[in-house]
Amino acid sequence: MQKFIPISFKTLLKKLHIAEHYFFYDSAIISVLLTLMNSLPQLSGMFNALKTVFDREDALYKLSQASMLTSKLRILNGKRCAYFTHIWGLIDILKYENLAANIQEAIEKLEFLHNTYKSLIYGNYTEISGMMINFLQDCEKPAYQPSIQLLGLTEVVDKIKTAETEFEALYNERSFSKEQIAEMGKLAEIRIEVDNAFSTLVDAINYTWTANEMGAGDPALRAKLIEVKEHIAAAIHQTELNLARRGHHKVKEDDKEDGGTQTPTTPPTPPPPGTQTPNTDRPDASQTTQNPTDEPHHLDPNEHPAMGERKADEQKKKEDEKKKDEEKK
């Protein structure tokens, strides 16, 4: 017997990207059906179970967006380091000018300060932050504040301070998100739970429809169930269109021979690259708590410039040896 709501959506949902899956439930299912389900007490238990597990996906999805802060962190880190380097570039130019004794003295004091922090830009994010905070504190001290003012560097120091504050706020937000992600588990696992809860709700809707049609035939219940079906069908249809736009085939209807009772056997499509808390400069944020710049860079040695030089040397050596052998002959 044909189902009131076909179950072909099970395969469909597996093909959705993280954001698509989230917005399917958030905008097209949960928020739309919330009022309707209040008037269907026989289905409220299954709907509340769906909403409860989706709340976990909602929280984790929002936290997973912290991974998008990676590029912003990189920009802010570059900004604070650029301002820091700019100070010493200005001082380096000034010291070669024929300046008054008090200005030369100010330059010498700040160069001494620079020697203390000259390795600052080579650290990882947390190391840079620690040294930058100490540097900014030193800039406020009487030993260096007058020199900074005399050389007209107050504005640059203020820009470093602003960039550092912005960086720390963003970095702390990202660190908090990583901790929450680790506690709540992987987003892919929660997606499965949400899909299973939705499938249970649809099964309950189908059962309620069949029971009413074969039993009491309550017209009010029939009308509400049809409204629920139309909302779900519209959400599924729109999702099919979205998938078609990016190259997926339209999901097939249930095979009439099995009455729509069997789940399609199409193997699940693994989440596309970049959908698992994408992060360009480090491993998956849900599986690591390292500082974003602590890990080594993974370069292909064959693409490294030094490797090209090494190969050229080895080739030349082989050619020289070949010439020597020929001369001996």
DSSP 3-state percent helix, strand, coil across the chain (nearest 5): 70, 0, 30
Of the candidates 125, 175, 168, which has an alpha carbon nearest to the alpha carbon of residue 289? 175
Of the candidates 280, 234, 266, which has an alpha carbon nearest to the alpha carbon of residue 72? 280
Q: Would you state the pLDDT for residue 154? A: 92
Q: How open is the CA angle 264-266-268, to the nearest 5 degrees?
A: 115
Distance between CA atoms of 218 and 320, rounded to whole angstroms? 96
Give the chain's radius of gyration (CA, Å): 32
For residues 12 and 243, the answer to whether their CB atoms sit within 8 Å is yes
Q: Which amino acid is at 143?
A: A
Q: Would you state the pLDDT for residue 269? A: 41
How many other C-beta atoms are found inside a 10 Å radius of the C-beta of residue 151? Answer: 19
Q: Would you state the pLDDT for residue 118? A: 83
Distance between CA atoms of 107 and 29, rounded to whole angstroms? 66
Of the candidates 205, 212, 198, which has an alpha carbon nearest to the alpha carbon of residue 228? 205
User: Two tokens at 263?
Assistant: 């789940």
Distance between CA atoms of 166 and 171, rounded to whole angstroms? 9
Distance between CA atoms of 167 and 125, rounded to whole angstroms? 9
- Run means of pLDDT, 10 residues per run, the chain, 329 residues: 70 84 88 87 91 88 67 88 90 82 90 87 85 92 92 92 91 66 69 92 90 87 91 88 66 38 37 38 34 33 38 63 67
Collapse the DSSP code of 90 into the 3-class scheme (helix H, G, I; strand E, B; otherwise coil) and give the result: helix
Q: Would you state the pLDDT for residue 283? A: 33
Distance between CA atoms of 200 and 195, rounded to whole angstroms? 9
For residues 80 and 132, the answer to whether their CB atoms sit within 8 Å is yes
Collapse the DSSP code of 300 into the 3-class scheme (helix H, G, I; strand E, B; otherwise coil) and give the result: coil
Q: Would you state the pLDDT for residue 176? A: 59
Q: Would you state the pLDDT for residue 127? A: 85
Q: Would you state the pLDDT for residue 261? A: 35
